Each structure stands twice: as structure tokens, then as C-alpha cells.
Amino acid sequence: MINIQIRGFLSKIEIQPISESEKNFLLNFIGDSKMTLSEILLDKNKFNLNSSKELMFPIVTDDAEIIITSFAENDYYSDGYAFFREKVNNMTDKASTLENLALKDYGIIKEKIYYGCSFESNVKEVNYKNFDKNNVDIETVSIPFMKTNYINNVFFCNQKIHDVIKSKNQFIKHKAVLYENSYKSNSNLNNSEFNIITYSEHGNG
């Protein structure tokens, strides 16, 4: 059995379409309170993101690594043999645009960043002797104006492997973006253009 881990940053994202009146309320609140967008969104009593689309992706960075460890079958208690380590960005495909997100004229993206083990999965009937790195494929996606590529899926021998991560990470920072869809047409990400109205972040890093 092999254990596949990706160590680096993990992104938890909420995407919320909002109305023009909600957009104006937020901008007025920012001006009156002197608070940033991210500070306002942390207080659910001020502005709650109900019915938001929630996503979770490992982030592709220069430092993110994939680490593969071989264990005896079902032996989760030994240290195992970590035999493969590689930078994630050396193994990813060309990022495609994230699909199936219907957007209105305005919206909010709230992103929490964590650091640690951002993906983990076990593959049975494989060990360091018969492992081939060419059997590992990492599919990536991007979200416009986020300026980041994310890991959407990990495949082994053309089969998707599922994340069984066990909260091995720590919170780093919170980001928030208020955007405008310049097409004004309830369209998806592939045929929309965006303007950032306001952006803010805060946290430990």
C-alpha cells in the first residue's frame, strides 16, 4: 500500500452571488465602519453568506510537495518508507477554468487559507517496488482574478483517488473579494469578465 500526501496550502472557498443593493450596502458599511471586507464577513451578524457555493482545493505553489510513502498492507501504525518526493507544480497539467458556477452581476468570494497536509489518500496493491510516477496525474483549475491554480483532482492509473485528509493543517489567513461581472448576464466563468471592486485579507501570514 502507498500513502499519497500533498503538503502545502489548502483553500476553503465560499462563492456567493449578491444583488446590487447588497453590494451597495457592503460598500457603504465599509465606508462607515472603516472595516475591511474580510473583517465584515467574519461577523455573521453583519453579513451572512447564506446559500453560498462551498469548495475546497489544495493550492499549487512553488513550495507544495507530493510525498509518497510505502506501507505494508493495512499497516497504519509504522512509519513506512517515504520513497518519492516531488514539487507539485512539476506534475500538474495546464489549469482549466472552474466550470458550473452560475454568477450574477455581483458576488463575494470568501477564502480561508490553511497550511499542512492538503490532500491524503491510500492506494492498495502498490508499493515502492512497482510504483511508477507516470501513473500519477494532478488535474488543476483556476478561478478568474484569484491569481491562483488549485488542485481539482488526483488520479492514479487513470482512476480518481479520494481525499481522506484528517485535519492535519493550521489556519493561516482569510481573504475576501467583492467582484462585478461585467457581462451582466448570469453567465458562467468561461464567458464572463470580472472587475474587483474591493479586496482584503488578514490572518497569521
Reduced DSSP (H G I as helix, E B as strand, rest coil) percent helix, strand, coil of the chain, to 5: 15, 50, 35
| pLDDT attached to residue 61 | 95
Looking at residue 57, its pLDDT comes to 95
The grid coordinates listed for 1 are 500500500
pLDDT, residue 120, reads: 94
Range of the domain at 148: 10-203
Q: Is the residue at 59 inside a domain?
A: yes
pLDDT at 2: 92
| Cα gap 156→158, rounded to integer Å | 5
Q: What is the rounded CA–CA span in Å between residue 129 and residue 132?
A: 9
In a domain, 1, yes or no: no
Q: How many domains does the chain have?
A: 1
Question: What pLDDT shows up at residue 189?
Answer: 52
Low-confidence residues in the chain, pLDDT < 50: 190-191
Q: Is residue 4 part of a domain?
A: no
Residue 132 in grid coordinates: 511508477
Secondary structure class of 189 (helix, strand, coil):
helix
